[in-house]
Every structure is written in structure tokens, then in C-alpha cells.
């Protein structure tokens, strides 16, 4: 059995592509999901991976879920914090629930997963955490003060936790995807999407497998000297 990896939000989109890539790399893959049981069954059957259901924004549920994975599958060596939601609106139309739910899941989920798995990684002297941020956490985006704040928070969280894990062989990095051809982006109106693509120097949306290959590198043995870093995979749309 290879190292055990949990990918949150792992049954669809970028998360599923990450599951495929890490399974191909020889890891024992566990996909976490929150709601879509049919997608989880299809993912488990097609990829031959484990799927566990819990809300990563729920602290106690996350501790219990990760403990169950450790009992059933093995100690968790790799965590990919990919789960995320959007509740887009301009500030004057955004409710507190819209703000709070995005922060609870997108940023709180990273904290909850780290609390569950980081101590064991340190004790065993090896671990990999990869947090999926966003170009919109780097550059901001109209109508996304909640999402941009949560994703920006992920980048700071990554740098701080990396310093705690470095001496124990635990690396913590982030990937900031640009606009990727997933269901979330497909929901954007065509006229808006055309304007987005026009601002991407490579002239197209990214593909989920391109994010997955970045994760594959960051969780590998070869990336042991990479920590506290953010890998931007955005087709050149935002550079700094």
C-alpha cells in the first residue's frame, strides 16, 4: 500500500483529476465529499478509490472523518485541501450567510483538515499538505469578496503552517489555479466567459489535469525542499 492521501471535494472537477493523478502515482487515495452521493459512487467505481462523506467546514465531523480514514485505510500522509464553494454577490447584496459559509468551508476546511492530520504527519516525520487557492485570492475579483478573502487567507495559512512543519519533514504548499474548464466555470455566462478567456495570454481555459500534475509534484519525494510556496497555474493571466 502506498502513502495515504485525502483529497477534499475529490469526486468532481479538479478534485477528481487530482485523485486520478495521485492514484496513478501509486498513492492510496481517499476522496472526501459533502453531498453528491451519486457522483461519489461513480467516482469510487470508476477510479477504484475510497470515498468518505463529511462537511470539511464542520470541525468535529472532520476530526471524526479523518480518524475513520486512518482506522480503515491507514495514517494520512497527504492532504489536498480542494473543497470549496462560491456564493457570489457584490458586497451590498451579500448576506452574512453568504460570507460565512464560504469562509467556513473554503478557509475553515483547511484548518479543520490540518488539525486532524498535521500532528500525525509531524510525529511520523513526513507529510504533504497542498491547499488549493485561486487566482482570485491573488488578484481579487468583482462580486467575490467572500471567495477572494477565503482564498487569499489560504495563501497566508500555507506560509505560516509551512514554518511549523518544516523541521519535521512536513511540507505545506498552495496551488493558485486560474480559470479551469470545470462545472463551476461552466456556470459562468458565455459573454462573461469570453471576456475572461480574452484576458488569458495562452488563449484558453486551463484543464483540471494541469492542476493535478502540479499537486502530483508537490506531494512527491522530489518536492521535499519546496515548502511555503504558491504555484500559480493560470495561463499567464496574473503574474507577480
**What does the domain layout of the chain look like in residue ranges?**
4-232
**Architecture of the domain delimited by 4-232:** 3-Layer(aba) Sandwich (3.40)
Reported as a single tens digit per residue, the pLDDT across 180-222 is 998 777 778 889 889 999 999 999 999 999 999 999 999 999 9
142 is catalytic: no
Catalytic residue among 33, 52, 147, 179: 147
Asked if residue 106 has pLDDT above 70, the reply is yes
Asked if residue 1 has pLDDT above 90, the reply is no
Quick one: three-class SS letters along the chain? CCCEEEECCCCCHHHHHHHHHHHHCCCEEEEEECCCHHHHHHHHHHHCCEEEECCCCCHHHHHHHHHHHHHHCCCEEEEEECCCCCCCECHHHCCHHHHHHHHHHHHHHHHHHHHHHHHHHHHHCCEEEEEECCHHHHHCCCCEHHHHHHHHHHHHHHHHHHHHHHHHCEEEEEEEECCECCHHHHCCCHHHHHHHHHCCCCCCCECHHHHHHHHHHHCCHHHCCCCCCEEEECCCCCCC
- Model pTM? 0.96
Reported as a single tens digit per residue, the pLDDT across 58-82 is 999 999 999 999 999 999 999 999 9
* Residues 128-141, mean pLDDT to the nearest whole number: 95
Amino acid at each position: 500500500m502506498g502513502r495515504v492521501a485525502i483529497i477534499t471535494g475529490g469526486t468532481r472537477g479538479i478534485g477528481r483529476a487530482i485523485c486520478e493523478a495521485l492514484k496513478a502515482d501509486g498513492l492510496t487515495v481517499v476522496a472526501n465529499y459533502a453531498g453528491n452521493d451519486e457522483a461519489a459512487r461513480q467516482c469510487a467505481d470508476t477510479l477504484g478509490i475510497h470515498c468518505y462523506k463529511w462537511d470539511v467546514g464542520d470541525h468535529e465531523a472532520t476530526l471524526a472523518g479523518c480518524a475513520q480514514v486512518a482506522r480503515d485505510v491507514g495514517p494520512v500522509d497527504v492532504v489536498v485541501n480542494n473543497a470549496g464553494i462560491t456564493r457570489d454577490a457584490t458586497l451590498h447584496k451579500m448576506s452574512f450567510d453568504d460570507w460565512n459559509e464560504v469562509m467556513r468551508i473554503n478557509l475553515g476546511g483547511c484548518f479543520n483538515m490540518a488539525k486532524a492530520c498535521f500532528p500525525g504527519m509531524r510525529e511520523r516525520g513526513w507529510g504533504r499538505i497542498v491547499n488549493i487557492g485561486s487566482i482570485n485570492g491573488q488578484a481579487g475579483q468583482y462580486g467575490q469578496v467572500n471567495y477572494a478573502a477565503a482564498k487569499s487567507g489560504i495563501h497566508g495559512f500555507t506560509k505560516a503552517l509551512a514554518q511549523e512543519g518544516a523541521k519535521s519533514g512536513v511540507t505545506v504548499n498552495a496551488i493558485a489555479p486560474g480559470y479551469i474548464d470545470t462545472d463551476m466555470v461552466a456556470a459562468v455566462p458565455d459573454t462573461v466567459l469570453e471576456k475572461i478567456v480574452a484576458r488569458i495570454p495562452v488563449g484558453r481555459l486551463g484543464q483540471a489535469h494541469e492542476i493535478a500534475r502540479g499537486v502530483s509534484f508537490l506531494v512527491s519525494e522530489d518536492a521535499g525542499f519546496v515548502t511555503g510556496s504558491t504555484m500559480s497555474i493560470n495561463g499567464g493571466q496574473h503574474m507577480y
